[in-house]
Amino acid sequence: MNTPEKTQISSSLSKFEDSPVFNYINSLSPIKPVKSVHVTQTFNPLSFASLPSIFTSPHVSSHKESRFLKCSTDPSKPELSSADGTKVSPVEDAGVDVHENFDPAVSLGEVSFELPNEPSRIAIELPQTLKYDCGSPDCAPTPCVIEMNCVSQPTCTSLAIVPFVQEASQKGLSDGVEVAATFQIERKKETIGSEWESLISETADLLIFSSPNDSEAFRGVILKSLDPGSTICSTLISQFPQDDISDYKDQTEGITGLSEINSVNESFEDNNVTNIVPGSLTDHVENRMSAPYSIEPGSNLHRGFRRRCLDFEMLAARRKNLDGGSNTNSSVDNKLKPSKAGCDSSRCIVPGIGLHLNALAIASRDNNNSKLETSSSGTQKLILPCTTTSNSPTADNETAHESLLASVSTKRETNDVENGVQLAEDASQASAYLVNEEFNQNSPKKKRRRLEQAGESEACKRCNCKKSKCLKLYCECFAAGVYCIEPCSCQDCFNKPIHEDTVLATRKQIESRNPLAFAPKVIRTSDPIPEVGDDLITTPASARHKRGCNCKKSNCLKKYCECFQGGVGCSINCRCEGCKNAFGRKEGSAILEAEGDPGEETDPSEKNAANKKFEETDILNNEEQIQLLSQQLHYSFAGFILELPLVQLPFSSKGKPPRSFIAIGSSSALYTGHIYGKPNIIQPPNIIEKHFQSVAEDETLEILRGNSSPGTGIKTSSPNSKRISPPQYELGSTLGGGRSGRKLILQSIPSFPSLTPKH
């Protein structure tokens, strides 16, 4: 990537690296100064883009993100790092250093939680973050900034964003303010334990999780070309403070929507950072939220959506924080875990994206309205489904629900009942947690019944585990990386915040067996256009089940089939018999069938029915997909969002959205981050690929060649080797290498692992 920005950054970095401050820092730290860390710069865009999916991946994303976050805090603590004496990998240098120095308490993710108590902090941090985003010296005049640049560069080099960020920094960020803020934060920090890195990474993830909107926000910034400075700031603010704060608000009790934002705004003013956000911050928030994304500023819906998901990460981070709590700022701990109840609540509140995305994916298909809206803005694609869905008969009794839903009601679209229900459910669930955790354990049937009465119980229904304690992949909730909540009818459920330790341990165990265990089952590949055969669609390559199905009797025509359930065609990876998957038969099935393969009792009527079904449900969507894809490509090209709700789900009006199939943002990545990277992310288009190639071709290729970090090889080492095959391979083989897009995808997927620190 020879973009001017990069060049500029590199040169700038070099300059700074040679500065006295930098030298001083180096002298204090075992870390070797590394000039212009180009490690994953190429993929930075991905990091942004993949945020949602990354959310779930503490490792990969965390590294990246953590760095990103670290940067924010790092500037202030060169000395601290050295003082801590924590070991840093020389190779990772800056990045690691940042990690160690990074104070979780300072992370944006935490900020969201802490904000209520410390409004000023957020103000400080946000600007910092912005600054960090810009990997260019332009935004970092101070020594601290310089170091930051070194560290952050890898992550901050996103192609599209850099210019904006830089500009923003130039326009709105006050260097002095930033520095001061940094140090202020620094003072609060305490010695960092050896656990920091992990802690940080997770914290970073949390941050990310808390801001599923990040990608959108950035996209919005880019696409809309709004005032970079204000836009970015407002975006960040709107996202973090708004969502997270509002969550916190919910816990503590009804505070009105923008109050937090206002406080944030005040904070900015207090810190002389006001200039960063021209005009009322609130206004910005509103504008950005409502206009570009069609999201209400205080969209509780959105928030509610994210609540359950990724709780695990939150817990993990939090727990680690606690473990090292002796070292960490007590205030932080308190904030993270208010009281027992509050603690749980917070967890519940912790934003998650898995469900959110799921809903989106579905919505893209099912919800025409949402489609329209999505078409108008890429960001909305992801969100609208959420917002549009709050049709929640299910929210009946819960005031909290009502409030949540009410906030979303403006956007309400009734078409997608399922999504709506689920979304509402999520929100309601979250609120339910807030209201009373015991809901989880009590009256599951009642809840379920209520949901069913809602008319779309399917969408809302959660698990019904009886023996697995919801600690196995049998449990949909567990598999999806979310806690069981109200709607669940499970028995002896351990998949609750109270048992966070158990949950985390179990997850780790499962992932140790199969790193992909929590990965999205359906991976969107590249080709959005299903291959429509003569009379039957054969293996649409737009998405594939990561492992493939093993159906024997269902002919892949029922939801027993995970491929079918996920709305994707069977692929070469499938070992199904008599595949008649309406979304695409296993390669060879169609041929065999056409040849009158006895193994496949080809029932013409069935075939036609399947085909018809497909036509009804997918053909149209394919076109839509194409449109969406083009948009998405645009966004992707901007370097922010790579994951798309393109996976088309077959169940429009009935059947709950296959959460487990969402290709995005499952909590899977929690522990698999390094290994699985971000395969979760739906890799779209060729354009992106080109982007990649131009930007990070080198590394990508390396990764593909197996030179990347250990985790790079998706699945090669999967315990389920017999069944799981790398998405890439799948793509390559299934798609038939003719298409460049596929090839590109292969590259792009591996690229994620590159995000992990180089050695």
Partner DNA sequence: GAGTTTGAAACT
Partner DNA sequence: CAGTTTCAAACTC
Closest CA to 759 of 713, 714, 711, 709: 709
Q: CA 425 to CA 5: how far, in whole Å?
A: 44
| Residue type for position 614 | F
Cβ-based nearer residue to DNA, 60 or 561: 561
Q: Write down the residue that tokens 């024997």 correspond to.
A: 552
Q: CA 286 to CA 294: how far, in whole Å?
A: 10
Cβ-based nearer residue to DNA, 37 or 485: 485
Q: Write down the residue that tokens 């009818």 correspond to.
A: 489
Cβ-based nearer residue to DNA, 536 or 576: 576
Cβ-based nearer residue to DNA, 3 or 550: 550
φ, ψ of residue 290 in degrees (nearest 5): -85, -45
Q: CA 567 to CA 565: how far, in whole Å?
A: 5
CB 147 within 8 A of CB 78: yes
Least separation in angstroms between CB 625 and DNA: 23
Least separation in angstroms between CB 386 and DNA: 21
Helix axes 175-188, 60-73, angle to 10 degrees: 110
Q: Write down the residue that tokens 């883009």 correspond to.
A: 49
Three-point CA angle 699, 702, 704, nearest 5°: 115
Return the number of other C-beta atoms located less than 10 Å from residue 548's C-beta.
Answer: 24
Q: CA 148 to CA 167: how far, in whole Å?
A: 17
Cβ-based nearer residue to DNA, 340 or 558: 558
Least separation in angstroms between CB 468 and DNA: 3
As a whole number of Å, the CA-based R_g of the chain is 24
Closest CA to 525 of 714, 383, 289: 714
Cβ-based nearer residue to DNA, 381 or 656: 656
Cβ-based nearer residue to DNA, 225 or 721: 721
Least separation in angstroms between CB 491 and DNA: 8
Cβ-based nearer residue to DNA, 320 or 469: 469
Least separation in angstroms between CB 520 and DNA: 11
Q: Which residues neighbour 691 within 8 Å (Cβ) at sequence distance 6 or greater? A: 45, 159, 636, 637, 639
Burial tier of 339 (Cβ tally within 10 Å: 0-12, 13-18, 19+): exposed
Least separation in angstroms between CB 217 and DNA: 33
Cβ-based nearer residue to DNA, 188 or 613: 613
Cβ-based nearer residue to DNA, 224 or 472: 472
Least separation in angstroms between CB 351 and DNA: 24
Q: How many residues does the chain have?
A: 759
Least separation in angstroms between CB 613 and DNA: 12
**Token pair for residue 587?**
């390669």
Least separation in angstroms between CB 354 and DNA: 15
Q: Which residues neighbour 11 within 8 Å (Cβ) at sequence distance 6 or greater? A: none
- State the number of CA atoms in the 13 A half-sphere of 475 facing the CB: 29
Least separation in angstroms between CB 719 and DNA: 9
Cβ-based nearer residue to DNA, 287 or 734: 734
Least separation in angstroms between CB 504 and DNA: 15
Least separation in angstroms between CB 664 and DNA: 17
Closest CA to 435 of 307, 329, 556: 307
Q: CA 47 to CA 152: how far, in whole Å?
A: 12
- The distance in angstroms from the start CA to the end CA of the chain is 22
Q: CA 154 to CA 94: how far, in whole Å?
A: 10
Least separation in angstroms between CB 456 and DNA: 13
Q: Write down the residue that tokens 């207090």 correspond to.
A: 270
Cβ-based nearer residue to DNA, 66 or 611: 611
Cβ-based nearer residue to DNA, 434 or 574: 574
Q: CA 511 to CA 58: how far, in whole Å?
A: 13
Cβ-based nearer residue to DNA, 24 or 560: 560
Least separation in angstroms between CB 478 and DNA: 8
Burial call 643-656: b when 16+ CB within 10 Å, e when fewer: bbbbbbbbbbeebb
Three-point CA angle 543, 547, 551, nearest 5°: 100
Cβ-based nearer residue to DNA, 460 or 664: 460
How is 69-110 classified by DSSP, letter by letter? HHHHHGGG-HHHHHHHT----TTTTHHHHHHHH--GGGSHHH
Cβ-based nearer residue to DNA, 694 or 721: 721
**Token pair for residue 690?**
């080109």
The footprint of DNA (CB under 7 A) covers: 449, 458, 461-470, 472-476, 479, 510, 513-514, 517, 521, 547, 549-555, 558-562, 565, 655-656, 658, 721-723
**Token pair for residue 184?**
């202020």
**Token pair for residue 217?**
């926000």
Least separation in angstroms between CB 59 and DNA: 20
3-class state of residue 309 by DSSP: strand
**Token pair for residue 709?**
């970090």
Least separation in angstroms between CB 29 and DNA: 43
Closest CA to 393 of 444, 349, 459, 438: 459
